[in-house]
Structure 1
Amino acid sequence: MAPTGFTPPTNHGFVVIRDMRDGTRKVMVCDAVSDGEPQNVYAAHFKCTSVDVDPSVPLVTTSTGAYSKRVVEVYAERPGVVHVRALHQGENPIMDTIARAK
């Protein structure tokens, strides 16, 4: 059972956050990140005005944004508002295995 106030993630994976020219951000969820570039993107959130990254999520900062070094949970509160948090162990066995390998 999920804890009180827990919002189930929309996706699990590596996250790449890009700063866009219009001041918004694009958040991509992918299988891997190579040289700061997302690989096999399977979810994207466009025109994000708020991207809340939990402090427990290590990000690598680049000239165009940032990316996660490990698998995370990403969920959209509403259009334009995205949250990124550390993977909750035990909720996704396949991604848990990948996260432990990193």
Structure 2
Amino acid sequence: MKVLVASLLLVSLVLSSCFVEEAVATAAAASPPSPMPPPGFCESKCAVRCSKAGRQDRCLKYCGICCRECSCVPSGTYGNKSECPCYANLKNSKDQPKCP
């Protein structure tokens, strides 16, 4: 009886470790960390991006958040989001585009 319990415990430990390794590998592959942009990068890029915005303070805030998360900002004052897919794909809590 003791041998049976011990072998079942060993088998369950081996199986659970396989699932944990797979889950960690999947999570790491799903969201690779983006490198931090150099100091001043986001501020200068967002200043250009938000230069024609009606609510500059809000535009600069969200552009900065998106830039720090994605390490890129699309060129121009509007559109061109295909240049930075991460920036284009970020959504707010209402499932609307987060980045200006």
TM-score of Structure 1 vs Structure 2, range by shorter chain: under 0.3
Higher relative contact order (CA 8 A, sep 6+): 1
TM-score of the superposed pair, with normalisation by structure 2: 0.26
Higher helix share: 2
Whichever of the two has the greater Rg, that structure is 2
Higher strand share: 1
TM-score of the superposed pair, with normalisation by structure 1: 0.26
